[in-house]
Amino acid sequence: MTHPFLAALKEKPLLADGAMGTLLYARGASSETSFEQLNLTNKSLVEQIHIDYINAGANLIETNSFCGNRYRLALYGLEKDVWQVNVWAAKIARNAREIAGMPVFIAGSVGPTGKLLAPIGEVTKDDLDLAFREQMEGLLAGGVDLFIIESMSSIVETAVAIKAARKLSKLPVVAQFSFTTEGHTVLGTSANDVARLLIELGPDMPDVVGINCGAGPGPSLESLHEIASAIANVGLTPENISLSCLPNAGMPGRVGNRFMYISRPDYCASFVGQYIEAGARLIGGCCGTTPEHIKALRTSLDKYIEDNYKEKSKAKISKTFPVNQTAIVVENEKSSVTQKPADFNSIINKLTTNDREKFFISVELDPPKGAIPRKLLQAAEQIKLAGADTINVGDSPMAKVRMSSLATCLLIQQTVGIETIIHFTTRDRNLMGIQADLLGCQALGIKNILALTGDPPSIGNYAHATAVYDVDSVGLLKIISQLNQGMDISGNTIGSPTSLSTACALNPTAENRALEIERLQKKIEAGAQVVMTQPLYQLSDLSDFLHDFGKCPVPILAGIMPLNSFKHAQYLHNEVPGITIANHILKAMEAAGDKGAEIGIKLAEELTEELRSIIAGVYIVPSFGRYDDICHMIGKLKSKNKIIAS
């Protein structure tokens, strides 16, 4: 069976990462200590570099083990730590891959020993074999996918390393030589020597041979052409062996007390097509290259693939997993919704930036009580067609058990194609669960979070259920802010930062207004981008609060819940926390009699117009599933928006 790395390499060119030592030094590691020892003493530093390369678009990352053999480590008194250094080199890379969530290959980096063979030097082939096998065994135990034997100058030492890898496992082997600008290694190995080595190795021949380090993009391209010609002359073809090219970022120049590589990312990336035309299937960078270089190479490689591999694939290689590409089919009497998810980009973010002048309309839906979402999705489709901007989804409101809000949001976005705002409570989740679900929101495209503490279980239909409340809504906002910076609440990296937008709740009619003002200030300081009020029933509910609070620095969405009857109004006023209905509204509903629903909608429309000057929009809460009335109300609001805009 073909190894996945080799299969991927045959399908399309792959992108490796860039320099490890360059970034370790730039990020504070001392050049007078062993960079490989950082695998034991500063794992997070090494891990973050791997993550940065993965996020830049690398398909392959190399372990921090280039000098991980006994001879190189002995220079720092670490010769007894070969196993630990290499096991952890692989483990750190694997953990970085898991954090980043990308399907990258992990290559065990094996560099030269720095020793010369007898009689010039003091070591024998057996000594080198032992050193290479010792290092590779640690990398194997740590879980590498392949070996990269790199920056080699000696043809003999390279042969020993390749044979050691072949004796230990059936993993793919990449062998790379460090060619100088003169077209050979510092020990005189030429392209023809490389070709002869491949023939001599026979069945032990590496799967990939190529160039890394030694020179910049231009000279490395010339050396790549020479190697390609040399191996073709001995009868080898791309079916027998692949080529690689991972040059430096040019030649280093002295800047102050440091040597700096000066080749810009765009310059290095300009060679991508030429490398591939010369036969390279694995490209990347070595000394001096950074995630910025790899990102530039990624862009060039994607363009080359798109332009030249259309006959093999209609989709270009991407650095991300396709997410939510399977359409969910929901049958109903009127239609079959079979839409793929839209490419949403945070409706809250739009509300706070580009579309500030637009009057925003959201509609709140509760998840179904069972596992059948048909009715909910029909309502969502109806609301979308009416012109709503988004749908916000409750999280077991009133502490009554319903389908999870996350699942409901996903169903709506995938099948109906309208963005959602998830009500996310801390009531049912501990700190681990909160972060896990927020990461799930990010992965599934649920980017808008209304941060709530949540109703206590005692008021719902599972009175004996226990609440968690590790944090409240302010704490939740802080957690989201931390995730958006790429870290969990303990300061551990999560790979790519999340891009979650946040809203918070406000009860402007709260009895303790001073406390509510203090809480709102804390929520905004914690990162809330939008305020969503409890349902309002008169202008003064909000205007009086803002008089005491001052100008709100973020947009406000007013909650609008049309009343259905006098009995409904009494229930909300007396039994639902956070809702207060003024006496004159109660009297109007009482006088409405059997026309309560009609009057309730009229009052809601009038209130919306009164509030329009101090809010960015509304979120409408339908009563008793009266979606036809709500859709009619949305239509009127949309018409009003057009009149104002004109």
Q: Say if residue 456's pLDDT is above 80.
A: no
Instruction: Give the model's confidence band at 105: pLDDT under 50 very low, under 70 low, under 90 confident, else very high.
Output: very high
How far CA 221 is from CA of 188, 298, 330, in Å, comes to 18, 18, 55
CA dihedral sign of residues 350, 353, 358, 359 = positive
Q: Say if residue 314's pLDDT is above 80.
A: no
Instruction: Give the model's confidence band at 502: pLDDT under 50 very low, under 70 low, under 90 confident, else very high.
Output: very high
Tell me the CB-side half-sphere exposure of residue 370, using CA atoms within 13 A: 4
User: Which one-letter amino acid corresponds to residue 518?
Assistant: E
Residue with tokens 């069972």: 370
What is the pLDDT, as a whole number, of residue 310? Answer: 58
Q: CA 279 to CA 533: how far, in whole Å?
A: 62
Instruction: Give the model's confidence band at 372: pLDDT under 50 very low, under 70 low, under 90 confident, else very high.
Output: confident
- Mean pLDDT calculated for residue range 566-574: 86
What is the pLDDT, as a whole number, of residue 328? Answer: 34
Within a 10 A sphere around the Cβ of 390, how many other Cβ atoms?
25
User: Which one-letter amino acid corresponds to residue 330?
Assistant: V
Please tell me what DSSP assigns to residue 395.
Answer: S
Q: What are phi and psi of 28, to 5 degrees?
A: 110, -5
What is the pLDDT, as a whole number, of residue 334? Answer: 38
- For residue 129, give the nearest of 169, 164, 153, 155 by alpha carbon: 164
Within a 10 A sphere around the Cβ of 59, how many other Cβ atoms?
25
CA dihedral sign of residues 215, 221, 223, 227 = positive
What is the pLDDT, as a whole number, of residue 539? Answer: 94
Contact indicator for 480, 449 with CB cutoff of 8 Å = yes
pTM over 0.75: no
3-state secondary structure of 146: strand
551 versus 341: the higher-pLDDT residue is: 551
What is the pLDDT, as a whole number, of residue 258? Answer: 59
Least confident of 249-263, 291-305, 465-479: 249-263
Q: What is the pLDDT of residues 321-361, one digit of tens each?
A: 223 333 333 333 333 343 433 445 567 777 766 445 688 99
- Mean pLDDT calculated for residue range 463-467: 59
Q: CA 455 to CA 572: how far, in whole Å?
A: 15
What is the pLDDT, as a whole number, of residue 643? Answer: 60
The helix (run of H) or strand (run of E) holding residue 162 is: helix 155-168
What is the pLDDT, as a whole number, of residue 257? Answer: 54
Residue percentage of the chain with pLDDT more than 70: 89
Q: CA 64 to CA 602: how far, in whole Å?
A: 68
- Mean pLDDT calculated for residue range 160-173: 96
Q: What is the pLDDT of residues 150-160, one digit of tens each?
A: 999 999 999 99
Q: What is the pLDDT of residues 126-139, one digit of tens each?
A: 999 999 999 999 99
Q: CA 195 to CA 193: how far, in whole Å?
A: 5
- Mean pLDDT calculated for residue range 540-558: 95
Per-chain mean pLDDT for the chain = 87
Residues 6+ apart with CB under 8 A from 8: 14, 59, 105
Residue percentage of the chain with pLDDT more than 90: 68
SS (H, E, C) 121-138: CCECHHHHHHHHHHHHHH
Provide the pairing of β-strand 336-337 with 330-331. Answer: antiparallel
Least confident of 162-166, 324-328, 621-625: 324-328
Least confident of 163-177, 287-301, 367-381: 367-381
What is the pLDDT, as a whole number, of residue 446? Answer: 94
The helix (run of H) or strand (run of E) holding residue 516 is: helix 513-525
Q: What is the pLDDT of residues 43-90, one digit of tens each?
A: 999 999 999 999 999 999 999 999 999 999 999 999 999 999 999 999
Tokens coding 411: 């169903």
Q: CA 369 to CA 212: how far, in whole Å?
A: 60
Instruction: Give the model's confidence band at 390: pLDDT under 50 very low, under 70 low, under 90 confident, else very high.
Output: very high
Within a 10 A sphere around the Cβ of 606, how many other Cβ atoms?
11
Q: CA 492 to CA 109: how far, in whole Å?
A: 25
Contact indicator for 285, 297 with CB cutoff of 8 Å = yes
Contact indicator for 389, 448 with CB cutoff of 8 Å = no
Q: CA 448 to CA 442: how far, in whole Å?
A: 9
Least confident of 182-186, 257-261, 463-467: 463-467
- Mean pLDDT calculated for residue range 304-311: 79
Tell me the CB-side half-sphere exposure of residue 202, using CA atoms within 13 A: 1
469 versus 356: the higher-pLDDT residue is: 469
Residues 6+ apart with CB under 8 A from 49: 20, 23, 24, 27, 64
219-242 burial by CB neighbour count: b if 16+ within 10 A, else e?
bbbebbbbbbebbeeeebeeeebb
Contact indicator for 422, 395 with CB cutoff of 8 Å = yes
Q: CA 354 to CA 360: how far, in whole Å?
A: 12
The helix (run of H) or strand (run of E) holding residue 539 is: helix 539-549
402 versus 253: the higher-pLDDT residue is: 402
* DSSP bridge partners of 618: 361, 558
Within a 10 A sphere around the Cβ of 570, how many other Cβ atoms?
15
Contact indicator for 287, 249 with CB cutoff of 8 Å = yes
Please tell me what DSSP assigns to residue 170.
Answer: S
Q: Say if residue 220's pLDDT is above 90.
A: yes
Least confident of 181-190, 192-201, 467-476, 530-539: 467-476
Angle between helices 583-592 and 566-575 (to 10 degrees): 150
- Mean pLDDT calculated for residue range 236-262: 80
Q: What are the chain's domains?
A: 10-308 (3.20.20.330), 343-645 (3.20.20.220)
Spell out the alpha helix ranges (H) of 416-512: 431-444, 473-484
What is the pLDDT, as a whole number, of residue 335? Answer: 38
